[in-house]
Amino acid sequence: MDNTRIDLVLRRIAKELDISEDKRKKAVESYNSVGTYLSNHIKAQVDIFPQGSFRLGTVIKPLSDEDDYDIDLVCKINKHFSNPKDLKNEVGQALKESDRYSKMLQDEGKRCWTLKYSEEAQYHMDILPSITDITYDKDKKLKITNKDEETGTYTFTTTNPEAYFEWFNEKQQEEKQRLIERFAVQNNKNIEEVPEYEVKTTLQVALQILKRYRDKKFEDRLDDKPISIILTTIMAQIYAGENNVYELIKNFSNNYKKYIKIKNGIEWVENPVNSEENFADKWQIYPERKDAFKFFMTELKKDIVNNTFITSGNLFEESKSYKEMFGTKIVEKAYASIGEDARALRENGSMYINKDAKVNFEQEGKNVKEHKFFGQ
């Protein structure tokens, strides 16, 4: 089966899911401003950097136009804290003392402080207070706070988002470099001038598709939906340089079980840069989330991998299937984009049709001439 068409449509859907350049710039300006403020109001060296989907390049639009983007930030303080509550309050108190940020500050979260930006901005920022662990120079491990919602007690736990980003980036580096070089040539730029966010690897695109499919599937069960870090970790380990989004999703669907281990009778999705961390730890506390993950994987195979409608050649059934999976507005924009590109290619003589009646742009078969609907 030729999956070129599916790959094209999925890539265009993912492109429509991307955060806009304007919103991306505003978010960067916002977290740089927060970083500058905290650096000036905490008596220690402070580093602010993004983590999660914003840094990994897999952020997607929320399902509803009224919903916020979620931008996760790490606030790393170069200062000793023996009490986790003191670390948490160091950041919280600084934000409360600001005329600007105190108005945006939400109730204290389990691990983070959240700033809610304006309705026009459409994003909120979760700021995670942290300090370096004793092994930071070796594994970039950070100590963060964890507040028990029932007892109100604070404890330290560890994470290492910087090391995770490096691991994820290394996985996709070969394809990323090829794409950056191609983008530079096509846009008459030097390689150094191409920002990484300008190009998306197959891994990044497949994760955007996976997350949108999940959000649509669980729009009425938000608490149970599979978390992004599990999907990202498993798919990144399965990714082997594929350049077809559908093929990568199929491989993920067929091989994901290999990356769910059993440790002491507990199902374990291991952090690849911290073997002590189990990304599926909440499955033991909330077994319905484990059931939801298994449901998600079954539905994924049925809806995308084994969907005969998206391979039938029937454009109506194909688009109907995609709309059910990803949302009408996003899919209509993706098809409009494909149509516009096809029109432009046809008009400049770059479209061909081969002996199997398949359209291509590789000069295979008969050239499709520009249509002129005005007689002789």
**Number of structural domains in the chain:** 2
In percent, the amount of the chain with pLDDT more than 70 equals: 91
- Out of 78-87, 256-265, 272-281, 334-343, pick the least confident: 334-343
Same domain? For 13 and 58 the reply is: no
Question: Which whole number is the average pLDDT over 41-45?
Answer: 93
Same domain? For 154 and 246 the reply is: no
The confidence band for 346, taking pLDDT boundaries of 50, 70 and 90, is low
Query: What pTM did the predictor assign?
Result: 0.88
Distances (CA, A) of 367 to 145, 256, 318, 349, 374: 63, 43, 26, 7, 21
Residue 45 has a CB neighbour count (10 Å cut-off) of 10
pLDDT exceeds 80 at position 347: no
Tens-digit pLDDT profile for residues 221-262: 988 999 999 999 999 999 999 899 999 999 999 999 999 999
Instruction: Mark which of 251, 282, 311 sits at the end of a domain.
Output: 311
Place of tokens 């980003």: 165
pLDDT exceeds 90 at position 368: no
Determine the structural domain holding residue 40 and report its residue range. 21-159
Nearest to 172 by CA among 211, 194, 198, 203: 203
Question: Which whole number is the average pLDDT over 61-87?
Answer: 91
Handedness of CA 119, 121, 122, 123 (dihedral sign): negative
Amino acid at 129: P
Question: Which whole number is the average pLDDT over 20-43?
Answer: 91
- How much is the pLDDT for 150? 87
- How much is the pLDDT for 65? 78
Residue 61 placed within a domain: yes
Question: Which whole number is the average pLDDT over 281-304?
Answer: 95
Same domain? For 169 and 291 the reply is: yes
- Out of 21-35, 99-113, 304-318, pick the least confident: 304-318
Burial of 15 (0-12, 13-18, 19+ CB in 10 A): middle
Pick the residue with more confidence: 7 or 366? Answer: 7
Rounded CA-CA distance 328/4 in Å is 22
Instruction: Mark which of 124, 159, 194 sits at the end of a domain.
Output: 159
pLDDT exceeds 50 at position 376: no
